[in-house]
A = this chain, B = another copy of it.
């Protein structure tokens, strides 16, 4: 919540301005515990800030993401969405039926499949684990 400060500081220290639009977008992201798609974010903003364009939302998300302030989700078969927080690590549980995404970041091992099923009532049919980074060739930039 008071992350807000971090966002502002990081933006400024990286040479970017904290415009009203960016402020609105950031505050909207921070006040949602769910991750939001660009569209959802835009819709939620239009009420109070009718003039904000979807394009600006995309550009801001791209910027914040690049600065490491956002966590980008893209579960198989679902829309791309973002939430506040560092990006290095997130886990989700997706419903292939209704698309619900349950975030369980913080818990790791794959053995938790069974306990997840017990706790959430999900019937888990498959999973996907993705590590990302830089390969031997790309490491040295």
A residues with CB within 8 A of B: 72, 74-77, 87-98, 100, 108-111, 113, 116, 120-139
Contact = CB atoms under 8 A, between A and B. Distances in A.
B100 A129 contact: no
Contact of A137 (B96, B98, B108, B126): B98
Contact of A132 (B87, B109, B124): B124
Contact of A75 (B110, B121, B130, B137): B130
A116 to B, nearest CB: 6
Contacts of A87: 126
A122 B110 contact: no
A139 B123 CA distance: 7
Contacts of A121: 135-136, 139
Nearest to A86: B126
